[in-house]
């Protein structure tokens, strides 16, 4: 007797699982009731800034961010939600990932934006550090939106820079000059008189200073910040010097005050930065659909009244109408301010007359197209003490710079230039006050080279999104800050005390600032 079950048939071929190639993210549970923290969607009132941030971030294309995620493995936080959290945090003055992470546990507005999820500090930091390219593209998207809404005026652009403190300590700043001096002091020490510990400390210091001198030479810098290579030694407006970043920004519109482009660097001054920021601005507007034929009008302060910037402005006058005011300190002889400056010498062709009325000897040609004259009879000159501390006064000049300087003076003397230039302060300074005072962002929270630029770009992206939110709420045809200044300027003297009582000090203060 057989109990045959018959031939066993092979199992049917397994249907291959069709995976959705699109990445999946944690679902938004902000509308669900959480037993402990409640329901963010109910807790956050209509019209709250968090809701406005969520709406405007929803308009951004984040596909480049989402493409970095795989459809396999555990689901992560939606990049759009993390971006919205960072934008809201930036606008409300929370800049450290630790604090933002804590807020996503307890703050209803943050939980609404995070999709009802807690986001860890590590996730927030990683997102910010790795998303520079996206932040730059998103800033461009804000310019695109502004152009589409008619908020960009190519004839009202201003450029300037702000200094932000680095997350690095001042102790980590090394200047080539000081390191060389310390090296010679250390090498002059008698090593035999030192104990083992002191010898080791001396050796370490020599290595550190040698490394600093070599790094400065390799990067053609006068100083480096050992813990943050993208920072430099900067002097801040309060007079203190320390590690910092120079952020050069172009913005448009007295009423709109939207950022168009930015550069992050470590230069101690603005010289030579006009060309890169103007070209970045031009590219941003071109990408946003502004015709290449539109001539941009750009105002910059005396910090750009330097050779490279003036020569660039003059060479590109057909494309960009650049207005730069000459500062009272814009002299060639910056190293010796006690001595006669450039304005005390008269230049006519290749003849230079010194303050004593004597024709100077020269010119001799130097590199870079520069010419040098030397004083004649300086030894017996009664003005010598005010003219030079050397045997003979040298006067150096670049004909290209002179021509560019004269062209800028001519442009600035034209009737429309002063009015237009005076709008510069109301266009660019509110961007910096918004960043430093309204958003409270004066110091970076990262020292990583990739993270520094990403963090600064994120803050300016948040600033632009905040401006777009405000501008969208303004009733059609409502006056901007510029119009407000004009109206109140007419009333100045009679009605301002009465207005102070009615509208309060902050409004009046703002009016005075803009009017200045
Ligand atoms: S010191 Fe020489 S260059 Fe200066 S004013 Fe006198 S003569 Fe002229």
For 414-467, the pLDDT digits (tens) are: 989 998 999 999 999 999 999 999 999 999 999 988 899 999 999 999 999 999
Element (H, E) at 364: strand 361-365
pLDDT score of 254:
92
Residues 299, 424 contacting (CB under 8 angstroms): yes
Residue nearest to ligand 1 atom 2, measured at CA: 378
Mutating to test ligand 1, I would choose from 358, 382, 397 the residue with most ligand atoms within 8 A of its C-beta, which is 358
User: Measured between alpha carbons, how far is 432 from 435 in angstroms, rounded to an integer?
Assistant: 5
pLDDT score of 349:
83
> What is the number of the ligand 1 atom nearest to the C-alpha of 374?
3
> What is the number of the ligand 1 atom nearest to the C-alpha of 340?
4
Domains of the chain, residue spans: 40-130, 140-167+232-328+407-465, 170-225, 342-392, 479-515
Query: Taking residues 488-505, what's their average pLDDT?
Result: 40
Backbone phi, psi, residue 492, to 5°: -55, 135
Structure tokens that stand for 425 in this block: 């302060």
How far does residue 353's CA lie from ligand 1's centre (Å)? Answer: 9
Q: Average pLDDT of the chain?
A: 87
Q: Give the pLDDT band (50/70/90) at residue 28.
A: very high
For 361-396, the pLDDT digits (tens) are: 989 998 878 899 999 999 999 999 999 998 999 999
User: Measured between alpha carbons, how far is 183 from 205 in angstroms, rounded to an integer?
Assistant: 8
How far does residue 366's CA lie from ligand 1's centre (Å)? Answer: 21
How far does residue 303's CA lie from ligand 1's centre (Å)? Answer: 29
pLDDT score of 98:
97
Residues 134, 87 contacting (CB under 8 angstroms): no
Mutating to test ligand 1, I would choose from 332, 354, 377 the residue with most ligand atoms within 8 A of its C-beta, which is 354
How far does residue 356's CA lie from ligand 1's centre (Å)? Answer: 6
How far does residue 390's CA lie from ligand 1's centre (Å)? Answer: 11
> What is the number of the ligand 1 atom nearest to the C-alpha of 375?
3
Q: Give the pLDDT band (50/70/90) at residue 10.
A: confident
Residues 268, 232 contacting (CB under 8 angstroms): yes
How far does residue 259's CA lie from ligand 1's centre (Å)? Answer: 49
Query: Taking residues 186-204, what's their average pLDDT?
Result: 91
> What is the number of the ligand 1 atom nearest to the C-alpha of 382?
6
- Which of the two residues, 369 and 289, has the higher pLDDT score? 289
Mutating to test ligand 1, I would choose from 332, 355, 389 the residue with most ligand atoms within 8 A of its C-beta, which is 355
Rounded-to-10 torsion of CA 428, 429, 431, 436: 150
pLDDT score of 18:
61
Query: Taking residues 316-321, what's their average pLDDT?
Result: 93
Residue nearest to ligand 1 atom 7, measured at CA: 378
How far does residue 369's CA lie from ligand 1's centre (Å)? Answer: 24
pLDDT score of 500:
43
Query: Taking residues 286-305, what's their average pLDDT?
Result: 92
How far does residue 309's CA lie from ligand 1's centre (Å)? Answer: 30
Architecture of domain 140-167+232-328+407-465: 2-Layer Sandwich (3.30)
How far does residue 373's CA lie from ligand 1's centre (Å)? Answer: 11
Query: Taking residues 147-167, what's their average pLDDT?
Result: 95
Residue nearest to ligand 1 atom 3, measured at CA: 375
pLDDT score of 15:
72
pLDDT score of 332:
46
How far does residue 402's CA lie from ligand 1's centre (Å)? Answer: 21
Residue nearest to ligand 1 atom 4, measured at CA: 387
> What is the number of the ligand 1 atom nearest to the C-alpha of 378?
2
Name 265's bridge partners: 246
Structure tokens that stand for 3 in this block: 């109990």
pLDDT score of 62:
96
343-347, 383-387, 432-436, 489-493: segment of lowest average pLDDT: 489-493
Mutating to test ligand 1, I would choose from 333, 341, 351, 356 the residue with most ligand atoms within 8 A of its C-beta, which is 356
User: Measured between alpha carbons, how far is 86 from 91 in angstroms, rounded to an integer?
Assistant: 9
> What is the number of the ligand 1 atom nearest to the C-alpha of 356?
5
How far does residue 345's CA lie from ligand 1's centre (Å)? Answer: 10
Q: Could you identify the residue written with the tokens 């102070």?
A: 500
pTM: 0.82
How is residue 111 annotated by DSSP?
H
> What is the number of the ligand 1 atom nearest to the C-alpha of 360?
3
**pLDDT at residue 218 tops 80:** yes
For 95-110, the pLDDT digits (tens) are: 999 999 999 999 999 9
Q: Identify the residues whose C-beta falls under 6 Å from ligand 1.
A: 354-356, 358, 375, 377-378, 381, 383-384, 387-388, 393
For 505-515, the pLDDT digits (tens) are: 433 343 434 33
pLDDT score of 476:
61
How far does residue 359's CA lie from ligand 1's centre (Å)? Answer: 9
DSSP-assigned letters across all residues of 308-363: HHHHHHHHTTTTEEEEEPPPTT--S-TT-TTS--GGGSEEETTEEE-TTSPBPEEE
> What is the number of the ligand 1 atom nearest to the C-alpha of 395?
3
How far does residue 271's CA lie from ligand 1's centre (Å)? Answer: 29
> What is the number of the ligand 1 atom nearest to the C-alpha of 393?
3
How far does residue 393's CA lie from ligand 1's centre (Å)? Answer: 6
Query: Taking residues 290-309, what's their average pLDDT?
Result: 92
- Which of the two residues, 414 and 343, has the higher pLDDT score? 414
């Amino acid at each position: 007797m057989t109990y045959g079950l018959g031939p066993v048939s092979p199992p049917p071929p397994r249907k291959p699982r069709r995976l959705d190639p699109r990445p999946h993210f944690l679902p938004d549970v902000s509308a669900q009731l959480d037993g402990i923290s409640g329901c963010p969607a109910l807790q956050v009132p209509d019209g709250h800034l968090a809701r406005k941030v969520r709406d405007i971030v929803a308009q951004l294309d984040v596909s480049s961010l989402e493409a970095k995620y795989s459809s396999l493995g555990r689901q992560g936080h939606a990049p759009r939600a993390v971006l919205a959290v960072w934008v809201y945090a930036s606008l409300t003055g929370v800049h450290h990932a630790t604090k933002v992470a804590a807020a996503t546990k307890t703050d209803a507005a943050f939980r609404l934006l995070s999709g009802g999820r807690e986001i860890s500090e590590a996730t927030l930091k990683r997102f910010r550090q790795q998303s520079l390219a996206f932040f730059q593209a998103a800033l461009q998207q804000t310019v695109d939106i502004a152009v589409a809404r008619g908020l960009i005026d190519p004839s009202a652009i201003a450029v300037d820079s702000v200094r932000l403190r680095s997350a690095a300590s001042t102790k980590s700043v090394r200047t080539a000059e000081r390191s060389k001096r310390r090296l010679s002091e250390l090498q002059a020490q008698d090593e035999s008189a030192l104990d083992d510990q002191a010898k080791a400390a001396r050796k370490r210091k020599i290595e550190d200073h040698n490394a600093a001198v070599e790094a400065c030479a390799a990067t053609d810098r006068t100083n480096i910040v050992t813990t943050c290579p993208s920072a430099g030694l900067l002097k801040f407006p309060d007079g203190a010097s320390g590690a910092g970043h120079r952020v050069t920004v172009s913005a448009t519109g007295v009423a709109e005050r939207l950022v168009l482009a930015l550069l992050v660097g470590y230069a101690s001054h603005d010289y030579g930065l006009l060309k890169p920021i103007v070209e970045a601005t031009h590219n941003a507007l071109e990408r946003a659909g502004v015709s290449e034929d539109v001539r941009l009008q750009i105002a910059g302060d005396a910090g750009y009244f330097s050779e490279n910037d003036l020569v660039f402005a003059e060479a590109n006058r057909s494309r960009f109408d650049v207005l730069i005011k000459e500062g009272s300190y814009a002299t060639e002889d910056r190293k010796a301010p006690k001595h006669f400056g450039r304005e005390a010498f008269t230049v006519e062709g290749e003849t230079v007359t010194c303050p004593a009325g004597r024709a100077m000897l020269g010119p001799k040609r130097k590199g870079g197209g520069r010419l040098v004259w030397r004083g004649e009879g300086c030894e017996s000159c009664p003005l010598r003490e005010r003219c030079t501390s050397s045997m003979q006064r040298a006067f150096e000049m670049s004909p290209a710079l002179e021509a560019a300087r004269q062209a800028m003076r001519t442009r600035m003397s034209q009737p429309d230039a002063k009015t237009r230039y005076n709008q510069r302060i109301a266009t660019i300074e509110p961007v910096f006050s918004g960043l430093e005072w309204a958003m409270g962002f004066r110091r970076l929270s990262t020292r990583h080279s990739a993270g520094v630029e990403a963090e600064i770009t994120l803050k300016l992206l948040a600033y632009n999104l905040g401006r777009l939110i405000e501008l969208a709420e303004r009733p059609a045809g409502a006056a901007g800050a510029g119009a407000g200044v004009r109206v109140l300027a007419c009333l100045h003297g009679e009605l301002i005390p009465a207005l102070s009582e009615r509208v309060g000090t902050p409004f009046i203060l703002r009016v005075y600032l803009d009017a200045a």
